Structure 1
Amino acid sequence: MLTTDRLLLRRWHESDRAPFADLNADPEVMRYFPSTRTRAESDALVDRLDAAIEADGFGLWAVERRDSGAFVGFVGLSRPTFDPALVGQVEIGWRLAREAWGQGVATEAAREVVRFAFDPSGADLPALVSFTAATNEPSRRVMRRLGMAHDPADDFEHPALPPGHALRPHVLYRLSRAS
């Protein structure tokens, strides 16, 4: 469990499933993804995310507001497997409900995740990556606020999306412990 002044990053609770499904069904939240998710797909994702936390000691944690206990999305670490070039890397990522946008929630939570990721008593990782559709400027702003560096030579076409798909071009940002 990680905390900031306003947020708690924690394991997933059964009560997170309904608001997470609502978040994943929101076309505006999912505009940089190929599609929204059904309740069953969202529930299966919760199961996978919580299993990853159990296995690795870190993962994409549920985020709640400390003042109200309201679930607002996830922020954390994951191990991408969809592209051989990313296997072995650890990604920092986030997905928040629309009502949490524009309040610094993603940046605040992600900064705490970076601290944990590089702390010898935390995950003790040497580096992090983050990636998104090239058109996802809101997430790119968070990456820059975290001090992540972008080298256009690292950008890639997402292999799960067909050629010509508007979301296929992806950008990759990096942050090392030494940064």
Structure 2
Amino acid sequence: MIIETERLLLRPLAATDAPALAPINADPEVMRHIGNGQPLTPEATEARTAAAAAHWASHGWGVFAVEERDGGAFVGWAALATPTFLPEILPATEVGWRIARDRWGRGYAPEAARAAIGFAFGEIGLDRLVSCVNAANAASIRVTEKLGMTLERETVVPGYEVPCRVYELHRG
């Protein structure tokens, strides 16, 4: 299954994508507003990528690998996931994104996220999506605004004690 946008291709993330994803996850600037703000080791990326591939196999949705249509370069991911790190908003499905720093500023995050949203509201049949954004992450906040998401609440992520803004989008 491949989703094509104007400039990107989205496909289910495969375990074999770990080597391409590892440098993105190891970049301190990319990871600054994610989780505890620490880069991931190649081993952690490998484990998470394998888990994401397994999720696709069993559920038919999850993390999309994002590649440029011209040349096929791996530039990051767009995801549909259950935000278990924030129990107060469950049940919910989150749309998220992570793009390589050398591709920032090109509009890839909203383009990829729109494709994932279309899949969620279309093929999966969801009625609502959320996006949980570190309150200090101005770039991702702008992405949520470009997607038409609205602020649902401000909270703190348990365990990390990081201020978080929860945005939502309803189908239709």
Unaligned ranges ≥5, structure 1:
163-167
Q: Secondary structure at the match of 1:5?
A: coil
Taking the aligned partners of 2:90 and 2:21, their CA distance within structure 1 comes to 27
Taking the aligned partners of 2:32 and 2:73, their CA distance within structure 1 comes to 23
State TM-score, norm by structure 2: 0.93
- Change beyond 3 A, Cα 1:123–1:18: same
**Partner residue in 1 for 2:19:** 18
Taking the aligned partners of 1:12 and 1:79, their CA distance within structure 2 comes to 16
**Alignment RMSD, CA only?**
1.3
Asked if 1:136 is matched to 2:137, the reply is yes
Asked if 1:46 is matched to 2:49, the reply is yes
Unaligned ranges ≥5, structure 2:
none
1:31-69 C-alpha deviation (Å, 9 max, x unpaired): 112211001001011011112222221111111111111
1:107-141 C-alpha deviation (Å, 9 max, x unpaired): 1111111111111xx11101000011100010010
The answer to which structure has the higher strand fraction is: 2
Q: Aligned ranges for residues 52-91 of structure 1 at < 5 Å?
A: 52-91=55-94
1:114 maps to a residue whose letter is: I
Q: Aligned ranges for residues 162-173 of structure 1 at < 5 Å?
A: 162=161, 168-173=162-167
Q: Secondary structure at the match of 2:85?
A: coil
Percent identity for Structure 1 against Structure 2: 41
Taking the aligned partners of 1:90 and 1:55, their CA distance within structure 2 comes to 16
Is the CA contact (8 Å cut-off) linking 2:15 and 2:53 kept in structure 1? no
State TM-score, norm by structure 1: 0.89
Asked if 1:95 is matched to 2:89, the reply is no
Q: Secondary structure at the match of 1:169?
A: strand
Taking the aligned partners of 1:97 and 1:174, their CA distance within structure 2 comes to 25
- Change beyond 3 A, Cα 1:13–1:50: closer
